[in-house]
């Protein structure tokens, strides 16, 4: 199984390459990718230079152009595709149907991966896109159990890639408008979820209140660590009860199931976190490599990894059916 590592910056890309990634994924510095955060991503020149670096070490570079083309500004997305192909990207990670069709027509030789943002959750859906647009690999949404991942992988006429570590979308990816409901900025259109530009923390007596736009997303008591206000991991009130209505502030850790995923025929394991630093990527890559080699799910590094996770707590998400 290939190990696909995040690269938010050129420095992070070199780290991932040096640390043993089989491929890295990254995006351009604009709203054409789903991690359109300040200080992240690549200019054309940077991408060209870093592709050369990665290729010199036999590591692939996958370019995520995985938001949805804004009507009237399609050229921005089309240019991203043209440039990524011209600069030697080994694959494009795409979600927008119109952009997939454009790429298939203009760059038939370019390898096309289906982004998790495309929300293709079954073999009929993926099979259709493989046949119509020559998709070579589908990144599976985090809505499937391990059994479903295995069944789907057996059936689809392309490779599959799954998330094994990092941030967890509680909602199906690419079909969530919670962020734009609160802020006007959405993952699909702007490449941001719960954008930092709309985050505020305010003191309320002893408590710290986290806000997204005009909305309180959480309230932390004295001594409680104040987390980031992502809506699906916020605390709300329903019928007079306060609580984490959708999910606690946790992140995904499916490293205990690498063996199962391998047996299921999954081609690639993906680590989320283009916004994370070198230490994170280093620790995750090291731990996955160790487990893949020893074939053991047991965990010296587990504790170190968990400390690096959001909220310092992890879940297996939908891979474990009981999570539902």
Partner 1 sequence: MTDAGADPGAGRLTLTLGPVLFLWSEERWRDFYFRIADEADLDAVVIGETVCSKREHFHARAMDEVAERLTRAGKTVRLASLALVTAPRERKSVQRLAAQERFAVEIGELSAVPRLRGRPFAVGPMVNVYNAATAEVLAKLGATTICLPPELPLASLERICAQAPRVGIEVFAFGKVPLAISARCAHARFRGLTKDTCQFICGEDPDGVAVDTLDGQRFLALNGVQTVSGTCHVALDDIDGLRRAGVRGLRLSPQSCDMVAVAQIFRAVSERRLEAAVGRRRLAEIYPDVPFSNGFLHGRPGRELVAAGQAQ
139/159 Cα distance (integer angstroms): 9
- Kindly tell me which residue out of 18, 136, 236, 301 binds partner 1, with binding defined by CB under 8 A: 236
* Residue (of 188, 240, 236, 189) closest to 212 by Cα position: 236
- Which of 104, 20, 38 is CA-nearest to residue 4? 20
Cβ-based nearer residue to partner 1, 9 or 314: 314
Nearest to 301 by CA among 323, 322, 320, 284: 284
Give the C-alpha separation, 17 to 146, whole Å. 29
Pull the structure tokens for residue 193: 């979820």
Locate tokens 């010199």: which residue?
56
Region binding partner 1 by CB under 8 A among candidate stretches 26-34, 38-46, 121-129, 306-314: 121-129
Distance of alpha carbon 226 from alpha carbon 224, whole angstroms: 6
Decide if residue 79 touches partner 1 (CB under 8 A).
no
**Residue 124 interacting with partner 1 (CB under 8 A):** yes
Shortest Cβ 238–partner 1 spacing (Å): 5
| Distance between CA atoms of residues 201 and 70, nearest Å | 31
- Residue whose C-alpha is closest to residue 234's, from 203, 212, 205, 251: 212
Residue 148 Cβ vs partner 1, minimum distance, rounded to whole Å: 6
Residue number, 3 or 169, with CB nearest to partner 1? 169
CB closer to partner 1, 63 vs 178: 178
For position 131 contacting partner 1 by CB under 8 A, the verdict is yes
Is 50 or 96 the residue whose CB approaches partner 1 more closely? 96
Contact status: 225 vs partner 1 (CB under 8 A): no
User: Is residue 116 part of the contact set for partner 1 (CB under 8 A)?
Assistant: no
Binding residues with partner 1: total (CB under 8 A): 68
For partner 1, which residue of 60, 113, 235, 291 counts as binding (CB under 8 A)? 235
Measured CA to CA, the distance from residue 47 to residue 129 in angstroms comes to: 28
Asked whether position 123 contacts partner 1 by CB under 8 A, the answer is yes
Per CB under 8 A, which region of 26-34, 68-76, 252-260, 267-275 contacts partner 1? 68-76
> C-alpha 54: how far from its chain's center?
21
Q: CA-CA distance, 12 to 281, in Å (whole number)?
A: 8
State which of positions 6-45 bind partner 1 (CB under 8 A).
Answer: none
202 or 263: CB nearest partner 1: 202
Residues 177-216 that bind partner 1 (CB under 8 A): 177-178, 180-184, 186, 188-189, 209, 213-216
- Classify residue 82 as exposed, middle or buried by CB count within 10 Å of its CB (0-12, 13-18, 19+): middle
Interaction between residue 69 and partner 1 (CB under 8 A):
yes
> What burial letters (b/e) apply to 286-311, b meaning 16+ CB within 10 Å?
ebbeebbeeeeeebeebeebeebbbe
Q: Which of 129, 264, 281, 285 binds partner 1 (CB under 8 A)?
A: 129
For the bound state, the minimum distance from the C-beta of residue 14 to partner 1, rounded and expressed in Å, comes to 34
Name the residues that contact partner 1, by CB under 8 A: 68-72, 74, 95-99, 101-102, 118-125, 127-129, 131, 142-144, 148, 170-172, 174-178, 180-184, 186, 188-189, 209, 213-219, 232, 235-239, 242, 245-247, 318, 321-324
């Amino acid at each position: 199984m290939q190990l696909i590592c995040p690269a938010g910056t050129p420095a992070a890309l070199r780290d991932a390459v040096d640390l043993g990634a089989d491929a890295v994924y990254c995006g351009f510095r604009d709203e054409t990718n789903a991690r359109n955060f300040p200080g992240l991503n690549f200019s054309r020149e940077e991408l060209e230079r870093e592709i050369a670096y990665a290729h010199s070490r036999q590591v692939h570079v996958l370019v995520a152009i995985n938001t949805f083309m804004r009507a009237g500004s399609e050229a921005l997305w089309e240019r991203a595709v043209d440039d990524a192909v011209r600069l030697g990207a080994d694959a494009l990670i795409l979600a927008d149907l119109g952009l997939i069709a454009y790429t298939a027509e203009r760059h038939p030789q370019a390898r096309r991966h289906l982004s998790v943002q495309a929300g293709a959750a079954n073999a009929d859906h993926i099979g259709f896109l493989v046949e119509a647009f020559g998709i070579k690999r589908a990144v599976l949404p985090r809505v499937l159990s391990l059994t479903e991942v295995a069944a789907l992988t057996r059936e689809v006429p392309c490779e599959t890639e799954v998330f094994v570590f990092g941030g967890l979308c509680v909602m199906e990816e690419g079909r969530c408008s919670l962020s734009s409901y609160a802020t006007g900025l959405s993952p699909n259109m702007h490449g941001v979820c719960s954008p930092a530009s709309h985050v505020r923390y305010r003191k309320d007596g002893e408590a710290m209140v986290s806000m997204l736009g005009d909305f309180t997303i959480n309230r932390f008591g004295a001594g409680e660590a104040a987390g980031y206000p992502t809506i699906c991991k916020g605390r709300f009130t329903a019928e007079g009860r306060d609580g984490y209505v959708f999910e606690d502030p946790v992140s995904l850790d499916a490293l205990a199931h690498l063996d199962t995923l391998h047996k299921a025929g999954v081609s690639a394991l993906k680590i989320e976190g283009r916004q994370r630093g070198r230490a994170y990527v280093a620790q995750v890559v090291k731990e996955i490599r160790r487990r893949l080699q020893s074939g053991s799910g047991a965990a010296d590094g587990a504790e170190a990894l968990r400390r690096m996770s959001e909220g310092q707590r992890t879940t297996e998400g939908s891979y474990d059916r009981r999570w539902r």
